[in-house]
Amino acid sequence: MREAVKLVNAEQPDMILFTGDLVNNFAEEVNGWETIFAELKAPMGKYSILGNHDYGNYSRWSSKAQKEANFAGIVDGHRKIGFTLLRNESLVLNRKGDSIGLGGVENWGTASQPRKGDLNMASQGLKDQPFNLLMSHDPDHWDKQILPQDFFDLTLAGHTHGMQFGIEKGDFKWSPAQYIQKRWAGIYREGNKFLYVNRGLGYHGLPARVGMPPEITIIELRKGPVGTEPLKA
């Protein structure tokens, strides 16, 4: 992880965004990482959201209070590593006379996944911004709610990990993740709306990746006429 921090800082990012799943299950998984994450530098801030694993739904708890205490610890873990956690919230970021809107929703997933994301809350105060960016952990949210709402220009997601297994050669890209998630890695576009799905930096379950290396995504937003590519990643 220390090497990942060095790679991020070498890019001199304006801001750093983390799209959820800080832990696999337990709040104590954050312990010991605080000083490493504190080395991340971004003048416009470091922002994060919750993923499905952050709610503690994959473990058995002796009581509701124990589960709630674990969740509170995970929420506080974002503060400990120096990130501002957005829970259905938004803010306006300013730089050199320009501004963009940034929203972050809690997890909104399909089937048994938590559905706590609220787009209306996450878009409050952003109506007058020329460009609005959203962090939403599960890419399925894009097709189900974000695109129909037609508000956020760029959505950043994660969740899939690319199944930690795949093949990529030239334009050919394959992973078993594609049989589970319609949007599982990279850039997707519908009209003038964009989604980017990061394949993850860590792992879940098996501590390995085959043909699906950890990913740090560098995104550059550029001004341009409506209809042109507003970003490169």
Kindly report, residue by residue over 12-28, the tens digit of the pLDDT. Answer: 999 999 999 999 999 99
pTM across the whole model? 0.89
What is d(CA 102, CA 135) in angstroms, rounded to the nearest whole number? 8
- The answer to whether the beta carbons of residues 132 and 101 sit under 8 Å apart is yes
Task: Give residue limits of the domains in the chain.
Answer: 2-232
- Whether 231 shows a pLDDT value over 60: the answer reads no
Report residue 34 as tokens.
């605080």
Residue 227, pLDDT score: 57
Closest residue by Cα to residue 198 from 17, 29, 56? 17
158-217: pLDDT as tens digits:
887 766 777 878 888 887 778 778 887 889 999 999 999 998 887 777 676 776 778 899
CA atoms 91, 96, 153, 18: torsion sign = negative
Q: What angle do CA 217, 76, 25 make, to 5 degrees?
A: 70
**207: exposed, middle or buried (C-beta count within 10 Å: 0-12, 13-18, 19+)?**
exposed
Residues composing the chain: 233
Report residue 219 as tokens.
């995104």
- The answer to whether the beta carbons of residues 153 and 124 sit under 8 Å apart is no
Residue 162, pLDDT score: 62
Amino acid (one-letter) located at 158: G
- Whether 233 shows a pLDDT value over 80: the answer reads no
For 2-232, CATH gives 3.60.21
- Whether 230 shows a pLDDT value over 70: the answer reads no
83-141: pLDDT as tens digits:
999 999 999 999 988 999 999 999 998 777 788 999 999 999 999 999 999 999 999 99
